[in-house]
Amino acid sequence: MPLDLSAGPVELTRAICDIESVSGNEKELADAIEHALSPCAHLTVARIGNNVIARTNLGRAQRVAIAGHIDTVPVNDNLPTRYESLGGVDYLWGRGTVDMKAGVAVQLSLAAELVDPRYDITWLWYDNEEVASELNGLRRLSVDRPDLLEADFAILGEPSGADVEGGCNGTLRVDVHLSGLRAHAARPWVGDNAIHKAAPVLTTLAEYTPREVEVDGLVYREALNAVMIRGGVATNVIPDDCVVHVNYRFAPSRSGEEAVAHLNELFGEHRVTVVDLAEGARPGLDTPFAQEFLAAVGAEAKPKYGWTDVARFAALGIPAVNYGPGDALKAHADDERVALSEIVACEQALRRWLTAR
């Protein structure tokens, strides 16, 4: 069934959540978005891979970029979506409702509706945000087609509880390699158990106290976690190899290089290899455009803990903030759910700002 962009952002959220689009599987949803936008005469629509870019060309003095990713983390028995109230609040439950199809739905509704906005707008919907950064659709566009990202200000619709969240933590993933020597499991004293060597690494992680760091007036909370572990050869062999995959979320005042150095400090007695690194972004809320946006939507400014693609705009010199419906604490959670009122509030505030004269 084709998407109905005039159905309202709540119904539209439900419709696009029920088109499963776990990273790598975005084609069906990208097709639906491209198809739904094709009747909009005020938009020039481009399709690049599973990214859809829709631009107005009204000759306005300023342009804003408004972007959202269309992929989700893996489904965990939480699709299709369902409506259910909890504590007197109406929610839509299911994978992607928070991260970040409610934000995408708000954007799609307004993209179709706003034929005469106050600024020229570049709407961007992109793939592979939840996986390695080299696959990220917005990163690929920023490298291959930076002209499509050009703007005076950018808004990313990541879940921010309908508040404005500035900047973002950086994220670093490393493998900590533990090595040993194989032997028969009945005679471990002639081998060297690599999995047992993970004990102090995991103890360090379990006991680690993350920093809270103030940057440009906002306090960023860091995080350090093992997100994957694997080891073992066979059930009767002392393992010679174990790999702990560690994710470090670091404040935007710390560089990528400093983040790598910190993990080497913690785990450097073992071999540490960098798998993925994306620097954070300072809040950037002191720019006039950001100040004006904050005032127009009437939202409070807060720090963003999770890494988001605002960092890609920041790297291009474009001030960028996160603004979208949904409690980020429920992103990736099994009980992921978005309050319907936040979807409506975001749509109304963005409309107010984009149509003010």
Q: Which of 24, 80, 146, 232 binds its own copies (CB under 8 A)?
A: 232
Please pick, from the candidates 7, 229, 274, 344, the single residue that binds its own copies as defined by CB under 8 A. 229
Q: Is 77 in the site for its own copies (CB under 8 A)?
A: no
Q: What is the DSSP string of 277-313?
A: EE--B---TTSHHHHHHHHHHT--EEE--S--THHHH
Residue 102: CB minimum distance to its own copies, A: 16
Is 234 an interacting residue with respect to its own copies (CB under 8 A)? Answer: yes
∠ Cα 107 6 55 (to 5°):
40
282-321 residues near its own copies, rule: CB under 8 A: 305-307
By the rule CB under 8 A, 101 interacts with its own copies:
no
Residue 113: exposure state from Cβ atoms within 10 A (0-12, 13-18, ≥19): middle
DSSP 8-class letter at 40:
-
Q: The tokens 């099994």 sit on which residue?
A: 334
Q: Which one of 34, 129, 279, 336 is the catalytic residue?
A: 129
Q: Which amino acid, one-letter code, is at 99?
A: D
Q: Which stretch binds its own copies (CB under 8 A): 30-38, 55-63, 119-127, 243-251?
A: 243-251
For residue 217, CA distances in Å to 76, 253, 293 come to 38, 12, 18
Rounded to whole angstroms, what are the CA distances from 175 to 109, 225, 242, 280?
Answer: 42, 12, 10, 20
Span 27-46, contacts to its own copies by CB under 8 A: none
- In the residue annotation, 129 being an active-site residue is answered as yes
Let me know if 71 is a catalytic residue.
yes
223 lies in the binding site for its own copies (CB under 8 A): yes
**Binding status of residue 354 toward its own copies by CB under 8 A:** no
What token pair was written down for 349? 């505030």
> Which residues form the interface with its own copies (CB under 8 A)?
73-74, 76, 99, 130-132, 169, 171, 173, 182-191, 193, 195-200, 202-203, 205-206, 221, 223, 225-240, 242, 244-245, 247, 249, 275-276, 305-307, 328-329, 331-334
Could you list the active site residues?
71, 129
